[in-house]
């Protein structure tokens, strides 16, 4: 099998002359034969790019389709929603495995040899189970937090810290305001806070995403949409809305690992450096490509450990 891997608008894998395009955010320099979207975060797909190839098979999970289609119109004439883990498209075999990042996020095993993790979280979470670590000859692994600065505390510790801070804000002010990424950690927090028997109010975007989670089997309850009648309770907003509320809100993101402020909690839907290394060591690939975030740092760390690694980013 002749294989070439590049980054051109997305991750391009050429297998015996056929191009698989993964998570495109810009137009590639080649015409793809297959397009795959690993999950429904906007830094992993561009609707204009997807719609630029209406005759190319577009593969994504049912849940990813639902999240994307909520606010976008997909014009592909050949959308394949992955209900099962295995399929063959254009003579290329594809297997899909949970990635535990957000609802519908998937790892992809291509021709039994190439693994793309997509964004991944190896920890057990209150709404998802840990994903399988896949054996690979060639591993394409995310490196969002592929830096020694980003080794996160155990999730149960972060859950306790977050609950303590939210309870304090609620009793001091009658309101706790929390900012987190949606879809993703925001839904995890609604599930976590539902234990407190306090009203939970979600911004309309968070609310809409959470509805899709519940429609797809996630047991998340006891939340309402924020409106003019909303009173005391816990308020959850998308993280991008918090830039003008640094002094009052609680910010839940992996990037908080480098912050000294107690209002920043490093709970993430990504794996930290130690977990990324655990994935590589268990997968034991012959060749590694790092992508996203600290891809170059992570590649250098892997080289120091004796791996054949390079950054696509």
Whether residues 36 and 117 share a domain: the answer is: yes
* 152 — pLDDT class (breaks 50, 70, 90): very high
Percentage of the residues of the chain whose pLDDT score is greater than 70: 100
Per-residue pLDDT averaged across 186-211, rounded?
97
Whether residues 255 and 285 share a domain: the answer is: no
Based on the structure, what is the number of domains in the chain?
Answer: 2
The pLDDT value recorded for residue 278 is 99
Whether residues 287 and 225 share a domain: the answer is: no
Whether residues 195 and 230 share a domain: the answer is: yes
Whether residues 77 and 130 share a domain: the answer is: yes
CA distances from 226 to 206, 213, 306 (A): 10, 18, 52
Which of 265, 282, 303 finishes a domain? 265
Q: Is 136 helix (H, G, I), strand (E, B) or coil?
A: coil
pLDDT at residue 246 tops 80: no
pLDDT at residue 279 tops 80: yes
The pLDDT value recorded for residue 126 is 96
The answer to whether 252 touches 267, Cβ cutoff 8 Å, is yes
The answer to whether 142 touches 117, Cβ cutoff 8 Å, is yes
Give residue-wise pLDDT tens across range 254-270.
999 999 899 999 999 99
Whether residues 51 and 168 share a domain: the answer is: no
Domain of 280, CATH number, reads 3.60.15.10
Domain containing 248: what range?
155-265
Is the overall model pTM greater than 0.75, yes or no? yes
Whether residues 135 and 247 share a domain: the answer is: no
Instruction: Strand 138-142: give its sheet, edge to edge.
Output: 86-89, 92-98, 106-110, 114-116, 138-142, 287-291, 309-311
Give residue-wise pLDDT tens across range 23-48.
999 999 999 999 999 999 999 999 99
Whether residues 159 and 236 share a domain: the answer is: yes
The pLDDT value recorded for residue 1 is 73
* 245 — pLDDT class (breaks 50, 70, 90): confident
Give residue-wise pLDDT tens across range 268-278.
999 999 999 99
Which among 150, 107, 146, 92 is positioned nearest to 312, based on CA atoms? 146
Give residue-wise pLDDT tens across range 213-229.
999 999 998 899 998 88
Per-residue pLDDT averaged across 224-242, rounded?
92
Please give the mean pLDDT across all residues of the chain.
96
Whether residues 26 and 105 share a domain: the answer is: yes
Give residue-wise pLDDT tens across range 80-117.
998 778 999 999 999 999 999 999 999 999 999 999 99
Whether residues 29 and 132 share a domain: the answer is: yes
* 171 — pLDDT class (breaks 50, 70, 90): very high
Whether residues 141 and 38 share a domain: the answer is: yes
- Residue 288: partners with Cβ closer than 8 Å, 6 or more residues away: 138, 139, 140, 141, 280, 299, 302, 307, 308, 309, 310
Whether residues 76 and 223 share a domain: the answer is: no
């Amino acid at each position: 099998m002749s294989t070439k891997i590049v980054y051109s608008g997305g991750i391009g894998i050429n297998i015996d002359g056929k191009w698989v395009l993964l998570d495109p955010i810009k137009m590639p320099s080649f015409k793809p034969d297959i397009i795959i979207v690993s999950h429904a975060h906007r830094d992993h797909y561009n609707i204009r790019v997807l719609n630029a190839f209406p005759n190319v098979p577009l593969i994504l999970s049912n849940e990813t389709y639902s999240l994307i289609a909520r606010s976008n119109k997909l014009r592909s004439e050949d959308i394949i929603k992955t209900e099962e883990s295995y399929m063959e498209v254009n003579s290329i075999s594809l297997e899909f495995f949970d990635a535990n990042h957000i609802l519908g996020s998937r790892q992809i095993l291509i021709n039994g040899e190439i693994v793309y993790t997509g964004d991944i979280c190896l920890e057990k979470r209150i709404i998802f189970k840990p994903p399988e670590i896949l054996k690979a000859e060639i591993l394409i692994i995310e490196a969002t937090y592929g830096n020694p600065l980003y080794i996160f505390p155990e999730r149960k510790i972060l859950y306790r810290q977050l609950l303590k801070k939210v309870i304090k804000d609620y009793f001091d002010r009658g309101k706790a305001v929390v900012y987190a990424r949606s879809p993703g950690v925001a839904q995890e927090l609604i599930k976590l806070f539902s234990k407190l028997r306090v009203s939970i109010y979600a911004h309309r975007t968070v609310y809409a995403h959470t509805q899709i989670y519940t429609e797809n089997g996630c047991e998340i309850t006891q939340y309402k949409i924020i409106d003019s009648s909303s009173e005391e309770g816990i308020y959850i907003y998308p993280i991008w809305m918090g830039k003008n509320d640094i002094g009052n809100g609680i910010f839940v993101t992996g990037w908080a690992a480098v912050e000294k402020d107690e209002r920043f909690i490093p709970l993430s839907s990504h794996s930290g450096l130690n977990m990324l290394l655990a994935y590589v060591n268990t997968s034991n690939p012959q060749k590694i490509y790092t992508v996203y975030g600290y891809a170059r740092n992570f590649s250098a760390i892997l080289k120091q450990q004796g791996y054949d690694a390079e950054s696509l980013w």
